[in-house]
Amino acid sequence: MPTILHINASPRYANSESLRLAWHFIDAVQVAGPENIELRTLDLFDDGALPDFGRTAAAAKMAVFSGGEQTPEQITAWESARDVFDQFAAADAYVFNIPMWNAGVPYVLKQWIDIVTQPGWSFGFDPEKGYRGLMEGKQALAIHTSGVYAPGVPAAFGSDFSSTFFADWLNFVGIEDATHVRFAPTVLNGDVDGTRKVVEAGLSESAIGFAGKLSALGTLQLVNDRA
Protein backbone atom coordinates (compact mmCIF):
# COMPACT_ATOMS: atom_id res chain seq x y z
CA MET A 1 0.00 0.00 0.00
CA PRO A 2 1.59 3.34 -1.01
CA THR A 3 2.24 5.38 2.11
CA ILE A 4 2.55 9.12 2.56
CA LEU A 5 4.12 10.49 5.71
CA HIS A 6 2.99 14.05 6.38
CA ILE A 7 5.33 15.96 8.66
CA ASN A 8 3.83 19.13 10.10
CA ALA A 9 6.45 21.56 11.42
CA SER A 10 4.02 24.33 12.40
CA PRO A 11 2.44 24.52 15.88
CA ARG A 12 -0.27 26.94 14.69
CA TYR A 13 -2.71 24.28 13.57
CA ALA A 14 -5.98 26.04 12.52
CA ASN A 15 -4.06 29.26 11.84
CA SER A 16 -1.19 27.63 10.01
CA GLU A 17 -0.74 28.69 6.40
CA SER A 18 1.71 25.91 5.61
CA LEU A 19 -0.53 23.22 7.16
CA ARG A 20 -3.53 24.49 5.21
CA LEU A 21 -1.51 24.13 2.00
CA ALA A 22 -0.29 20.67 3.00
CA TRP A 23 -3.89 19.55 3.46
CA HIS A 24 -4.81 21.08 0.10
CA PHE A 25 -2.03 19.09 -1.55
CA ILE A 26 -2.82 15.83 0.24
CA ASP A 27 -6.53 16.14 -0.65
CA ALA A 28 -5.57 16.64 -4.30
CA VAL A 29 -3.25 13.61 -4.21
CA GLN A 30 -6.02 11.51 -2.66
CA VAL A 31 -8.42 12.55 -5.42
CA ALA A 32 -5.92 11.91 -8.23
CA GLY A 33 -4.14 8.87 -6.78
CA PRO A 34 -4.90 5.26 -5.94
CA GLU A 35 -7.70 4.57 -3.43
CA ASN A 36 -5.51 2.67 -1.03
CA ILE A 37 -3.03 5.43 -0.13
CA GLU A 38 -2.14 5.24 3.54
CA LEU A 39 -1.64 8.63 5.18
CA ARG A 40 0.39 8.94 8.36
CA THR A 41 0.89 12.23 10.13
CA LEU A 42 3.66 13.36 12.45
CA ASP A 43 2.86 16.60 14.26
CA LEU A 44 6.31 17.57 15.40
CA PHE A 45 5.06 20.02 18.05
CA ASP A 46 2.84 17.44 19.78
CA ASP A 47 3.99 16.64 23.33
CA GLY A 48 6.18 13.55 23.25
CA ALA A 49 6.29 13.44 19.44
CA LEU A 50 10.07 13.11 19.50
CA PRO A 51 12.62 11.65 21.91
CA ASP A 52 15.48 13.86 23.09
CA PHE A 53 18.62 13.71 21.06
CA GLY A 54 21.15 15.01 23.54
CA ARG A 55 24.13 13.81 25.55
CA THR A 56 23.31 10.09 25.58
CA ALA A 57 22.05 9.80 21.99
CA ALA A 58 24.97 11.82 20.64
CA ALA A 59 27.40 9.51 22.47
CA ALA A 60 25.52 6.52 21.02
CA LYS A 61 25.93 7.97 17.53
CA MET A 62 29.64 8.59 17.98
CA ALA A 63 30.05 5.01 19.23
CA VAL A 64 28.54 3.82 15.94
CA PHE A 65 30.80 6.13 13.95
CA SER A 66 33.96 5.03 15.73
CA GLY A 67 33.01 1.35 15.93
CA GLY A 68 32.87 1.44 19.76
CA GLU A 69 30.45 -0.28 22.14
CA GLN A 70 27.28 1.48 23.26
CA THR A 71 26.42 1.50 26.97
CA PRO A 72 22.98 0.10 27.96
CA GLU A 73 21.74 3.70 28.39
CA GLN A 74 23.01 4.60 24.92
CA ILE A 75 21.36 1.49 23.42
CA THR A 76 18.00 2.65 24.81
CA ALA A 77 18.45 6.15 23.36
CA TRP A 78 19.54 4.65 20.03
CA GLU A 79 16.44 2.42 19.92
CA SER A 80 14.17 5.42 20.54
CA ALA A 81 15.82 7.20 17.61
CA ARG A 82 15.44 4.07 15.52
CA ASP A 83 11.66 4.03 16.08
CA VAL A 84 11.43 7.54 14.62
CA PHE A 85 13.63 6.54 11.71
CA ASP A 86 11.53 3.40 11.04
CA GLN A 87 8.42 5.55 10.65
CA PHE A 88 10.35 7.73 8.18
CA ALA A 89 11.75 4.77 6.24
CA ALA A 90 8.40 2.99 6.03
CA ALA A 91 6.86 5.73 3.87
CA ASP A 92 7.12 5.96 0.09
CA ALA A 93 6.45 9.67 -0.12
CA TYR A 94 6.64 12.71 2.13
CA VAL A 95 4.79 15.97 2.52
CA PHE A 96 6.54 18.54 4.72
CA ASN A 97 5.07 21.90 5.73
CA ILE A 98 7.76 24.19 7.04
CA PRO A 99 7.28 27.72 8.35
CA MET A 100 10.42 29.84 8.37
CA TRP A 101 11.55 30.58 11.92
CA ASN A 102 14.31 33.12 12.31
CA ALA A 103 15.56 32.47 8.79
CA GLY A 104 15.83 28.73 9.46
CA VAL A 105 13.59 25.72 10.11
CA PRO A 106 11.60 25.39 13.38
CA TYR A 107 13.75 23.65 16.00
CA VAL A 108 11.51 20.56 16.17
CA LEU A 109 12.16 19.86 12.49
CA LYS A 110 15.90 20.15 13.11
CA GLN A 111 15.47 17.76 16.06
CA TRP A 112 13.65 15.26 13.84
CA ILE A 113 16.39 15.58 11.22
CA ASP A 114 19.07 15.05 13.88
CA ILE A 115 17.25 11.89 15.00
CA VAL A 116 16.71 10.25 11.62
CA THR A 117 19.99 11.24 9.96
CA GLN A 118 22.18 8.41 11.15
CA PRO A 119 25.01 6.42 9.55
CA GLY A 120 23.77 3.16 8.10
CA TRP A 121 20.16 4.32 8.37
CA SER A 122 19.60 7.28 6.07
CA PHE A 123 23.16 7.80 4.82
CA GLY A 124 26.37 5.90 4.29
CA PHE A 125 29.92 7.17 4.44
CA ASP A 126 33.00 6.12 2.51
CA PRO A 127 36.31 7.74 3.55
CA GLU A 128 37.31 8.00 -0.14
CA LYS A 129 34.00 8.83 -1.80
CA GLY A 130 32.25 10.71 1.01
CA TYR A 131 28.56 10.59 1.93
CA ARG A 132 25.81 8.69 0.11
CA GLY A 133 22.08 8.98 0.75
CA LEU A 134 20.28 5.71 1.43
CA MET A 135 16.65 6.87 1.16
CA GLU A 136 16.35 5.95 -2.48
CA GLY A 137 13.14 5.66 -4.54
CA LYS A 138 11.18 8.16 -2.43
CA GLN A 139 9.52 11.41 -3.41
CA ALA A 140 8.93 14.52 -1.34
CA LEU A 141 6.98 17.73 -1.54
CA ALA A 142 7.99 20.55 0.79
CA ILE A 143 5.90 23.65 1.44
CA HIS A 144 7.82 26.66 2.72
CA THR A 145 6.12 29.70 4.23
CA SER A 146 7.57 32.95 5.53
CA GLY A 147 5.87 36.06 6.82
CA VAL A 148 8.26 38.73 5.53
CA TYR A 149 10.97 37.04 3.51
CA ALA A 150 10.34 36.32 -0.17
CA PRO A 151 12.86 35.72 -2.94
CA GLY A 152 14.29 39.01 -4.21
CA VAL A 153 13.47 41.12 -1.12
CA PRO A 154 16.20 43.52 0.08
CA ALA A 155 18.58 42.05 2.67
CA ALA A 156 16.90 44.07 5.43
CA PHE A 157 13.81 41.83 5.03
CA GLY A 158 15.68 38.68 5.92
CA SER A 159 17.40 35.66 4.44
CA ASP A 160 16.37 32.10 3.69
CA PHE A 161 18.47 29.38 5.30
CA SER A 162 15.31 27.30 5.75
CA SER A 163 14.44 26.03 2.29
CA THR A 164 18.12 25.88 1.28
CA PHE A 165 19.04 23.82 4.36
CA PHE A 166 16.04 21.55 3.90
CA ALA A 167 16.63 20.99 0.17
CA ASP A 168 20.25 20.13 0.93
CA TRP A 169 19.21 17.67 3.64
CA LEU A 170 16.71 15.87 1.36
CA ASN A 171 19.48 15.49 -1.19
CA PHE A 172 21.93 14.35 1.51
CA VAL A 173 19.71 11.43 2.52
CA GLY A 174 19.08 10.50 -1.13
CA ILE A 175 15.58 11.92 -1.69
CA GLU A 176 16.33 13.39 -5.09
CA ASP A 177 12.74 13.53 -6.35
CA ALA A 178 11.79 16.65 -4.40
CA THR A 179 9.47 19.54 -5.20
CA HIS A 180 9.68 22.77 -3.22
CA VAL A 181 6.72 25.13 -3.11
CA ARG A 182 6.84 28.54 -1.49
CA PHE A 183 4.06 30.72 -0.10
CA ALA A 184 5.63 34.08 0.75
CA PRO A 185 5.26 36.54 2.17
CA THR A 186 2.29 35.43 4.26
CA VAL A 187 2.22 38.53 6.50
CA LEU A 188 3.76 41.49 4.66
CA ASN A 189 1.41 40.95 1.75
CA GLY A 190 -1.41 43.17 0.47
CA ASP A 191 -3.11 40.20 -1.22
CA VAL A 192 -2.56 37.12 0.94
CA ASP A 193 -5.65 35.37 -0.44
CA GLY A 194 -4.58 36.01 -4.03
CA THR A 195 -1.05 34.72 -3.44
CA ARG A 196 -2.43 31.66 -1.62
CA LYS A 197 -4.76 30.88 -4.54
CA VAL A 198 -1.86 30.91 -6.99
CA VAL A 199 0.13 28.57 -4.72
CA GLU A 200 -2.88 26.26 -4.31
CA ALA A 201 -3.27 26.03 -8.09
CA GLY A 202 0.41 25.07 -8.39
CA LEU A 203 0.00 22.45 -5.66
CA SER A 204 -3.02 20.95 -7.43
CA GLU A 205 -0.84 20.60 -10.55
CA SER A 206 2.02 19.03 -8.62
CA ALA A 207 -0.41 16.60 -6.96
CA ILE A 208 -1.16 14.93 -10.29
CA GLY A 209 2.44 13.88 -10.90
CA PHE A 210 2.91 12.94 -7.23
CA ALA A 211 -0.23 10.77 -7.30
CA GLY A 212 0.78 9.18 -10.60
CA LYS A 213 4.04 7.97 -9.07
CA LEU A 214 2.15 6.54 -6.08
CA SER A 215 -0.22 4.69 -8.44
CA ALA A 216 2.73 3.18 -10.31
CA LEU A 217 4.31 2.20 -7.01
CA GLY A 218 1.05 0.62 -5.80
CA THR A 219 0.88 -1.53 -8.94
CA LEU A 220 4.50 -2.57 -8.46
CA GLN A 221 3.89 -3.45 -4.79
CA LEU A 222 0.85 -5.53 -5.82
CA VAL A 223 2.88 -7.43 -8.43
CA ASN A 224 5.67 -8.04 -5.90
CA ASP A 225 3.18 -9.22 -3.25
CA ARG A 226 1.69 -11.71 -5.70
CA ALA A 227 5.09 -13.00 -6.91
**Alpha-carbon gap, residue 144 to 121, rounded angstroms:** 26
Partners of residue 58 on adjacent β-strands = none
Rounded distance between C-alpha atoms, residue 15 and residue 113, angstroms: 25
Q: Would you count residue 16 as binding ligand FMN (CB under 6 A)?
A: yes
Q: CB of residue 39 vs ligand FMN: minimum separation in angstroms?
A: 19
Q: What does the chain come to in residues?
A: 227
- The answer to the question of residue 163 lying near ligand FMN (CB under 6 A) is no
- 172 vs 125: CA distance, rounded Å: 11
Which DSSP letter does residue 123 get?
E
Report how far residue 164's alpha carbon sits from residue 62's, in angstroms, rounded to the nearest whole number. 27
Determine which residue in the list 2, 4, 6, 10 makes contact with ligand FMN, applying CB under 6 A.
10
- Which of 105, 145, 169, 181 touches ligand FMN by CB under 6 A? 145
Q: Which of 58, 187, 198, 208 binds ligand FMN (CB under 6 A)?
A: 187
Q: Which of 5, 6, 17, 142 binds ligand FMN (CB under 6 A)?
A: 17
Candidates 74, 111, 118, 146; binder of ligand FMN (CB under 6 A) is 146
What distance in Å separates the CA atoms of residue 109 and residue 9, rounded to the nearest whole number?
Answer: 6
Residue 189 within binding range of ligand FMN, rule CB under 6 A = no
What is the contact surface with ligand FMN in residues (CB under 6 A)? 10, 12, 16-19, 99-103, 145-149, 158, 186-187
